[in-house]
Structure 1
Amino acid sequence: MNHDTSVGGGPRKRDVVSTHSVFGAPCWVSLTSRDLDATQEFYTALLGWRWRGAKLGDHFRIALADGVPVAGIAAVAAMWHMSVAWTPYFAVPDADLAVARARERGGTAAVGPLSFAPGRAALLADRDGATFGIWQGELVGNWEAWRRAAPTFIRLHTRNAFDAAMFYGEILDWATGVPGCCEVEYEGGEVVLRSQGDIVARIDSGAAEAAPDPSVRPHWQIHFFVADVAGCARTAEKHGGSVLSEAEDEAILRDPDGAQFTVTSRRER
């Protein structure tokens, strides 16, 4: 994915080769915020990230972990009337086709597809309202390096895990047998997505025997790996964030702008 944008990119079809090898898998995460400097300060204190500029202009920054680009920050929430949130992006070979499939299945396209070299992307919502992105084109730097350095694990909290898995599977070609596609399993009460053997996402809707819960607000939750969950939670509070819940190996936090995410000491592999 083009790590210089949170919503787009656009090469000609003959140039798109890298997304074919990992299509359907998470390939990037981005954050919309209101205050770029405050956002950078918070995540530097919390996760030790460093920063560099982006080609899209002064409202955008790229987060680096040990020199590896891991996330995009876009201070456009107020300017573009967007909510403050972390959003996962999935690699696709054809962004326009993926958007068409999403619309046919009851999803919506909030932004795009848009073209920004070297890729093409869109910001979508599934039929239950959970927001996600798709990306066609070059993946960020080295995809394997991103997966090891970045928040490579995401979880969809939704009302009906099997219905959601069908929606995403038909858009992203999960479990099709095509080389490079993701495999889908049912494990421990959740739908599990694997890419090249590694767990890259989970879809959860509560106990398997329970009816869909209408009170659940469907959303994708980004999980960041940290060595010290409790220390991270205290750092978040110290720098203007808040702790929504905390356990020994996991805490759900909000940054000062209100974006929700999880820090965890567990690796998903």
Structure 2
Amino acid sequence: MNDDSTPLAPRAGGRRSTRTISGAPIWVSLTSHDLAATQKFYTAVLGWEWRTIKLGDLFRVAEVDGVPVAGVAALAGQWHMAVSWTAYFAVESADATASRVQERGGTLAVGPLSLPPGRTALLADRDGATFGIWEGEISGSWDAWRKAAPVLVRLRTRDAFDSAIFYGEVFEWASGRPGGCEVRYDGEEVVVINNGEEVARIESGALGAAPDPSIRPHWQVHFAVEDVVSCVRAAEANGGSVLRSTDREAVLRDPEGALFTIYHRPTGPLGGRVP
């Protein structure tokens, strides 16, 4: 992935391939209707800076302290998609992974389609949680993205164990393959580990038929911030809404309805873990 070719990518640098990093979350992206309004909101709330990419005026990459954080694509209307945050996972083959998802009761929403130098698709698991996949090159700044941990992902689902089996088979977790992910159990949660680092969590408790989208099965994107209370105030002042809030974590909805979580950054300029 590189900033000249796809909105999923961080800044170009030394590259590696999804053939050697498999099953780990490597990027998050937001679909929206109004790119200018989206930029204004997230700049006010999270202090993001923006840069363009060569795919065109519908795409932007957000950065914090020079580290790429997320992509935004104003494609919700064009692709008839819900406005939402999506976590993308590295796969060796987008086509093979999409087939495994469908074979196990999941659904294919978009793709697989080519975005040189790779292929991507948008899917949903059998409980309805959407996620993306990427096959191809990954820029070297993916390492900075993961080590800095400005973004973390957590699946809130109906049954964590059942979902771990689904994603384990789809992404070949715990297969022992080089660069792949391993899984361990932490109380009632499933922890996904890549190269010794925690990269995702899966927890039970979501309700499939709930009217509130925040408690239906979904991959929840978390962003690290220094001051949760100030970010909550900024969200409310700029057309967003607050679903739940404490001094250390808040679940927010942007003006177009996309859900995301902010959490207190305990150490370092961009470090931290979801509490």
TM-score normalised by the chain length of structure 1: 0.90
Unaligned runs of 5+ in 2: 10-14, 266-271
Cα shift at 1:149 = 4.0
Deviation track 1:211-265 (CA, whole Å, cap 9, x = no partner) reads: x876451100000001111111111111111111001210000111110000001
The letter for the 1-side match of 2:56 is G
Structure 2 distance, partners of 1:247, 1:256, is 21
The equivalent of 1:27 in structure 2 is 26
> Does structure 1 conserve the Cα–Cα contact (< 8 Å) formed by 2:8 and 2:27?
no
The letter for the 2-side match of 1:40 is Q
Secondary structure of the 1:51 match is strand
Secondary structure of the 1:143 match is helix
Structure 2 distance, partners of 1:24, 1:132, is 12
Secondary structure of the 2:198 match is strand
The equivalent of 1:39 in structure 2 is 38
| Identity between Structure 1 and Structure 2 (%) | 62
Cα shift at 1:111 = 0.5
Cα shift at 1:194 = 1.1
Secondary structure of the 1:139 match is strand
The equivalent of 2:77 in structure 1 is 78
The equivalent of 2:109 in structure 1 is 110
Please tell me the root mean square deviation across aligned C-alpha atoms, in Å: 2.1
Shift in alpha-carbon separation, 1:161–1:233, aligned structure 2, 3 A = same
Deviation track 1:18-55 (CA, whole Å, cap 9, x = no partner) reads: 11222100000000011100100111112221111122
The equivalent of 2:185 in structure 1 is 186
The yes-or-no answer on 1:143 pairing with 2:142 is: yes
- Summarize the alignment of residues 61-210 of structure 1 with structure 2, pairs less than 5 Å apart: 61-149=60-148, 151-206=150-205
The equivalent of 1:268 in structure 2 is 273
Structure 2 distance, partners of 1:158, 1:63, is 28
Shift in alpha-carbon separation, 1:6–1:129, aligned structure 2, 3 A = farther
Deviation track 1:43-100 (CA, whole Å, cap 9, x = no partner) reads: 1112221111122211111112222222110111122211000000000111111011
Deviation track 1:88-125 (CA, whole Å, cap 9, x = no partner) reads: 00001111110111111111110011101111110000
TM-score normalised by the chain length of structure 2: 0.88
Structure 2 distance, partners of 1:214, 1:186, is 27
Secondary structure of the 2:19 match is helix
Shift in alpha-carbon separation, 1:39–1:197, aligned structure 2, 3 A = same
Shift in alpha-carbon separation, 1:2–1:159, aligned structure 2, 3 A = farther
Shift in alpha-carbon separation, 1:231–1:134, aligned structure 2, 3 A = same
The letter for the 2-side match of 1:171 is V
Deviation track 1:130-182 (CA, whole Å, cap 9, x = no partner) reads: 00000011114422111134543111111111111111111111111111111
Aligned residues: 258
> Does structure 2 conserve the Cα–Cα contact (< 8 Å) formed by 1:69 and 1:140?
no
Secondary structure of the 1:21 match is coil
Report which structure shows greater RCO (CA 8 Å, sep ≥6): 1
> Does structure 2 conserve the Cα–Cα contact (< 8 Å) formed by 1:199 and 1:268?
no
> Does structure 2 conserve the Cα–Cα contact (< 8 Å) formed by 1:26 and 1:152?
no
Cα shift at 1:17 = 5.3
Structure 2 distance, partners of 1:103, 1:257, is 30
Shift in alpha-carbon separation, 1:84–1:91, aligned structure 2, 3 A = same
Structure 1 distance, partners of 2:239, 2:75, is 20
Shift in alpha-carbon separation, 1:250–1:221, aligned structure 2, 3 A = same
Structure 2 distance, partners of 1:198, 1:231, is 30
